[in-house]
């Protein structure tokens, strides 16, 4: 199964399995080797037109926190079932009022060998207070590349999906 098909299966499974009304909309279901991340939209608090931005921000933060606590048991039940079925951890997130908040997510180690110049870049980020450790610095670098190379990375992912589809159409290898 290609990664595109796998994401479609997962999105369909979660759309069918999530309790009615949990989210107003299922926004994202993404998967990698370790984790399935499910993100849904929840309703914004209704404050009226005269509320300040600070009040709106605090209300959204409160709504996100309230939703997390209120739905914890339901989400854990769905996650346990999905983890058995798909053999990956499930993480949750919500979007409310234009703000996305992720609940507990997997922090998977990425093993790499870096030469001294690359390590010096990471150490500079630590010395500058951008990161607490080399691991944090490397994650910061990956996020920066992801933000600045979004179109290129998207094109690369599309190309990889195409390669998977072509491989799936080839002869069976035993």
Higher-pLDDT residue of 150 and 17 is 17
170 pLDDT more than 90: no
In percent, how much of the chain has pLDDT > 70? 98
Point out the least confidently predicted range of 36-50, 56-70, 102-116. Answer: 102-116
Which among 35, 7, 29 is positioned nearest to 107, based on CA atoms? 35
Which among 137, 139, 119, 138 is positioned nearest to 129, based on CA atoms? 137
pLDDT of residue 2: 64
Q: Is 40 left (phi over 0), alpha (psi -120 to 50) or beta?
A: beta
Ordered DSSP codes for 100-129: EEE-S-----------HHHHHHHHHHHHTT
Distance (Å, whole) CA 138 – CA 121: 9
Higher-pLDDT residue of 15 and 5 is 15
pLDDT of residue 1: 65
pLDDT of residue 95: 97
35 pLDDT more than 70: yes
Q: How far is CA 129 from CA 16, 27, 119, 126, in A?
A: 45, 34, 16, 5
């Amino acid at each position: 199964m290609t990664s595109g098909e796998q994401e479609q299966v997962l999105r369909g499974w979660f759309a069918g399995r999530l309790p009615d009304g949990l989210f107003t909309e299922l926004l994202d279901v993404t998967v990698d080797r370790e984790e399935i991340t499910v993100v849904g939209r929840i309703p914004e608090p209704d404050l009226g037109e005269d509320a300040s931005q600070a009040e709106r921000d605090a209300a959204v933060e409160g709504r996100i926190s309230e939703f997390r606590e209120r739905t914890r048991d339901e989400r854990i039940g769905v996650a346990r079932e999905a983890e058995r079925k798909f053999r990956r951890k499930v993480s949750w997130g919500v979007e409310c009022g234009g703000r996305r908040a992720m609940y507990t997510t997997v922090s998977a180690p990425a093993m790499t060998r870096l030469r001294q110049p690359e390590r010096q870049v990471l150490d500079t980020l630590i010395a500058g207070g951008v990161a607490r450790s080399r691991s944090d610095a490397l994650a910061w670098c990956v996020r920066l590349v992801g933000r600045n190379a979004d179109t290129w990375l998207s094109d690369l992912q599309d190309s990889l999906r195409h390669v998977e589809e072509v491989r799936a159409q080839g002869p069976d290898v035993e």
